[in-house]
Amino acid sequence: MTDEWQGWREAAEQALYGPDGFYVRPGGPGPSGHFRTSVHASALFAGAVARLLGDIDESLGRPRELALVDVGAGRGELLSAVLAAAPRELSARVRAYAVERAPRPPGLDHRIEWRAEPPSGVAGLLFANEWLDNVPVDVAETDAAGVARYVLVRREDGEERLGDPVTGPDADWLARWWPLAPGGEPGLRAEIGRPRDAVWAAAVATLDAGLAVAVDYAHERTARPSFGTLTGFRAGREVRPVPDGTCDITSHVALDACALPGAELLPQREALHRLGVTAARPPLALASTDPAAYVRALSGAGEAAELTARGCLGDFTWLTQPAGSSPPDGIGPSGA
Ligand SMILES: C[S@@+](CC[C@H](N)C(=O)[O-])C[C@H]1O[C@@H](n2cnc3c(N)ncnc32)[C@H](O)[C@@H]1O
């Protein structure tokens, strides 16, 4: 067969979102059945997003309707939790949109509107936790002569071989954001993030005013991984990426390439810290005055530690992107 070899972008698109794809299969367990994101790790994450939403609300002058758009919403877990965490006066004015390629899960809060594309012309917060890493991209690898070529993959077993040289806009993207083969070394790899830049810019453009935030595992131009990051996940385990629809296919995001003017990139531990999430242990004295409160505070500190830990979720990057003519500054007590 001549068409059994495909570029990784096309192969992952089919494997994740094609008929019976990993993310869209009816009745599948959803992302939380295969890996743990910050959303599932602790309600403190949703609490921080609710706080950010409140800051944006203030900066926009407390409009009658405030949009909360979750792109790559999974099963709507973050939206449900933010609506629950926000003060009643605020949540009553929030219009919540889940943007997902998977179908609406049964039993979801009726206040959440389920859609395939973000609404346009809205004001508020657009949030995308671990969305961009699941936007399929092509992979490039240098051949024996140091020429960057597309990596082709076979759906049934994940075997790879090299295809045509990378040319045109993909080659321009590599040259600008992820230069390969400075010394002609063979076997260097890069994920060509151009489709992610495009979908992020389009998502930001749907906001008339407010803040767009993408949270993902990321790398920057000064420290790209030499052999790329493409991998698979199934049932909580990292597995070899085979684009047959049985596992997640993901790669870290070049978030600096996605950033538009005015953006800020910061580690999750810093972003959550600015939003009041702290892993500080409660004072021991509380244990004798109010033991139940002490245990609650201790457990909260443990969850905050997981969300902000180095080498784990705390290393995720937040890309904050103000939108509109008089946008909020960013995040934090004195920000948005
Ligand atoms: C890793 S999951 C993250 C789910 C959730 N945000 C969380 O943090 O738990 C990525 C989700 O993005 C969705 N997704 C990928 N591309 C999308 C697109 N273009 N539009 C809407 N959803 C998309 C997938 O279907 C999947 O549910």
100 C-alpha to center of ligand 1: Å? 6
Residue nearest atom 21 of ligand 1, based on CA coordinates: 100
Q: Is the pLDDT of residue 1 over 60?
A: no
pLDDT in tens, 142-158: 999 999 999 999 999 99
Cβ of 321 less than 6 Å from ligand 1: no
Please compute the mean of the pLDDT values over residues 34-43 and round it to a whole number: 86
Please compute the mean of the pLDDT values over residues 56-82 and round it to a whole number: 97
**What DSSP line would sit under 60-103, residue for residue?**
TT--SSEEEEEES-TTTHHHHHHHHHS-HHHHTTEEEEEE-SSP
Inter-axis angle of helices 43-59 and 291-308, nearest 10: 80
**Residue to probe by mutation, ligand 1, list 13, 17, 23, 247, most atoms within 8 Å of CB:** 23
Q: Do the Cβ atoms of 148 and 24 come closer than 8 Å?
A: no
> What pLDDT shows up at residue 305?
85
> What pLDDT shows up at residue 336?
40
> What pLDDT shows up at residue 335?
43
Which domains can be identified in the chain, with CATH numbers?
Answer: 36-136+193-218+253-278+311-324 (3.40.50.150)
Strands in the chain per DSSP E: 5-7, 66-71, 94-99, 112-115, 122-129, 138-142, 148-154, 160-165, 189-192, 207-216, 231-234, 237-239, 248-250, 264-267, 317-323
pLDDT in tens, 270-292: 999 999 998 888 888 988 898 88
230 C-alpha to center of ligand 1: Å? 17
Instruction: Tell whether pTM > 0.85.
Output: yes
pLDDT in tens, 174-210: 999 999 966 668 999 999 999 999 999 999 999 999 9
Residue 101 corresponds to which tokens in the numbers above? 């390629």
> What pLDDT shows up at residue 243?
97
**What DSSP line would sit under 5-54, residue for residue?**
EEEHHHHHHHHHHSTT-TTT-TT---GGGT---HHHH-HHHHHHHHHHHH
Strands in 251-327 per DSSP E: 264-267, 317-323
Backbone angles phi, psi at 107, to 5 degrees: 80, 5
Tokens 């008929």 correspond to 19
Tokens 């990292």 correspond to 238
> What pLDDT shows up at residue 53?
97
Residue 241 corresponds to which tokens in the numbers above? 């990426």
pLDDT tier for residue 328 given thresholds of 50, 70 and 90: low
| Residue 160 β-bridge partners | 153
Residue 62 corresponds to which tokens in the numbers above? 């407390």
pLDDT in tens, 105-118: 999 999 999 999 99
What residue type is assigned to position 40 of the chain?
Answer: H
Backbone angles phi, psi at 36, to 5 degrees: -105, 115
302 C-alpha to center of ligand 1: Å? 27
Alpha carbon distance 137, 143 (integer Å): 19
> What pLDDT shows up at residue 236?
86
Percent of the chain with pLDDT over 90: 78
